[in-house]
């Protein structure tokens, strides 16, 4: 049996790491098990890629397609062309993709057209918002995949509603949380950046095109963030896309000049989780961070109109506030005033999702 595992962008790496490890353990008994790791190169900066491989002890990829950045069509097409050659050469029995980035969809389409079976990890998440490129990637991937591993029962229900045969759907749990549970003590023990004390700062991440690509939206978000920073220092590890836009809109110098907003380069996995663990709250437009904060018990204010991860709002620490600066301010001030609600951790986010996935694939 030959498995070809695909990772392409930053949020993929923590999802693939425990699956690689679960396969490594099984390979000790199963001599005819062949597992290859492929990196599409969608993310390529050391701070967006290599640091995660080092922190999470992910083996160096067997293959790197080196596709880099581009428009959606360019990036997707480059992945498809290069991945097709790999599939024709390697002839895997299964391709395994994770998450919802362009690489996920591109490799799924390519493999299926060559008659290769596809497993999708983190299937069934839906924001119902077709302006998000990730929603298109999720829909295309899930309609084609042969085995769909879900993180929660809401995702199972979404897939069933879309007509996916129940026997293809497996409620496995969350491999990103496998990684979090394995590494959080190591992350928590790291020193905080100078001048910060545990519980005395907020973390900000912002990178969605819908939030950062339009001057007016970005300015108005930073209006709210400045007001929050007047009460608590805000640490902001910034995505390269966001730094590019801040520069373009003439906001970068202003933000760098603010004492209470600390702009950092993107952080690798351990320092980032260390920061979140010790923070008072997180302000974000990321998907995965909504889940990590729920497990860590840190209040999360999500600056998006919708979420594909509603379970984090239903039982976790996540509050969806959209991009209205008044709502963002009010939610943050409520947290700072001690108004937090009880939260719990979703079922099967227990550190064993990758084992369940590998067992199902080998069965
Ligand atoms: C991608 C994913 C998104 C995920 C995000 C996490 C898609 C459609 N989007 O968005 O779901 O939340 O990754 O980061 O797949 N860049 C660099 N260095 C890099 C990579 C990117 O400088 O290593 C810059 C380039 O200017 C590039 C831009 O970031 O054009 C956007 O990168 P891209 O991979 O297209 O999408 P992300 O915004 O990172």
pLDDT means per 10 residues in the chain (363 residues)?
97 98 93 95 96 97 98 98 98 98 98 98 97 97 98 98 98 98 97 94 96 96 96 97 96 92 96 98 98 98 98 98 97 96 96 98 94
pLDDT of residue 195: 87
What is d(CA 233, CA 259) in angstroms, rounded to the nearest whole number? 8
List all residues whose CB is within 6 A of at least one atom of ligand 1: 9-11, 42-45, 48, 69, 75, 100-102, 133-134, 207, 239-241, 244
Q: Which tokens go with 164?
A: 């996916």
Cα 176 to middle of ligand 1, angstroms = 19
The residue whose CB lies within 8 Å of the most ligand 1 atoms, and thus the one to mutate among 6, 8, 9, 205, is 9
All domains of the chain in start order, with CATH: 2-174+349-362 (3.40.50.2000), 186-336 (3.40.50.2000)
Phi/psi of residue 79, nearest 5 degrees: -65, -45
Cα 241 to middle of ligand 1, angstroms = 7
Cα 78 to middle of ligand 1, angstroms = 15
Nearest-CA residue for ligand 1 atom 26 is 241
Q: Which residues pair with 147 in a beta bridge?
A: 119
Q: Residues 104, 38: contact at Cβ < 8 Å?
A: no
Long-range contacts of 151-154 (CB under 8 A, 24+ apart): 151/122, 151/124, 151/125, 151/291, 151/346, 151/348, 151/349, 151/353, 152/311, 152/346, 152/347, 152/348, 153/347, 154/124, 154/310, 154/311
Q: Residues 260, 234: contact at Cβ < 8 Å?
A: yes
pLDDT of residue 194: 87
The 10 Å Cβ neighbour count of residue 167 is 7
Q: Which tokens go with 2?
A: 């030959």
Phi/psi of residue 100, nearest 5 degrees: -145, 25
The strand ranges marked E within the chain are 2-7, 34-39, 63-64, 94-98, 117-123, 147-150, 169-171, 202-204, 234-237, 261-264, 281-284, 300-302, 318-320
pLDDT of residue 291: 98
Look up residue 72 and give its DSSP letter. H
Q: What is the CA radius of gyration of the chain?
A: 20
Q: Which residues pair with 203 in a beta bridge?
A: 235, 282
Cα 168 to middle of ligand 1, angstroms = 30
């Amino acid at each position: 049996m030959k498995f070809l595992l695909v990772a392409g962008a930053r949020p993929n790496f923590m999802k693939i790491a425990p699956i690689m490890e679960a396969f490594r353990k099984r390979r000790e008994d199963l001599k005819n098990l062949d597992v290859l790791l492929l990196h599409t190169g969608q993310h390529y900066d050391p701070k967006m890629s290599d640091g995660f491989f080092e922190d999470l002890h992910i083996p160096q990829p067997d293959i790197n397609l080196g596709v880099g950045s581009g428009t959606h069509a360019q990036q997707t097409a480059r992945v498809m062309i290069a991945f097709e050659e790999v599939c024709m050469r390697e002839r895997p029995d299964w391709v395994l993709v994770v998450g919802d980035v362009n690489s996920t969809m591109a490799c799924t389409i390519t493999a299926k057209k060559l008659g290769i079976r596809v497993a999708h990890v983190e299937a069934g998440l839906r924001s119902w918002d077709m302006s998000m490129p990730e929603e298109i990637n999720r829909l295309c991937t899930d309609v084609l995949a042969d085995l769909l591993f879900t993180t929660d029962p809401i995702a199972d229900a979404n897939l069933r509603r879309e007509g996916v045969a129940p026997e293809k759907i497996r409620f496995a749990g969350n491999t990103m949380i496998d990684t979090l549970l394995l590494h959080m003590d190591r992350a928590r023990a790291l020193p905080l950046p100078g001048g910060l004390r545990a519980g005395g700062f907020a973390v900000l991440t912002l990178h969605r095109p819908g939030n950062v690509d339009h001057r007016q939206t970005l300015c108005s978000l930073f209006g709210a963030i400045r007001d929050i920073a007047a009460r608590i220092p805000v640490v902001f590890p910034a995505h390269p896309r966001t730094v590019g836009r801040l520069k373009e809109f003439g906001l970068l110098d202003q933000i760098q000049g603010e004492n209470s907003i600390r702009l950092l380069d993107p952080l690798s996995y351990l320092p980032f989780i260390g920061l979140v663990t010790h923070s008072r709250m997180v302000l974000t437009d990321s998907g995965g961070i909504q889940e990590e904060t729920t497990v860590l018990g840190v209040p999360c204010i999500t600056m998006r109109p919708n979420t594909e991860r509603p379970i984090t709002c239903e039982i976790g620490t996540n509050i969806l506030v959209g991009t209205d600066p008044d709502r963002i301010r009010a939610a943050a001030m409520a947290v700072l005033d001690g108004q937090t609600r009880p939260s719990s951790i979703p079922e099967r986010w227990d550190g064993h999702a990758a084992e369940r996935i590998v067992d199902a694939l080998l069965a």
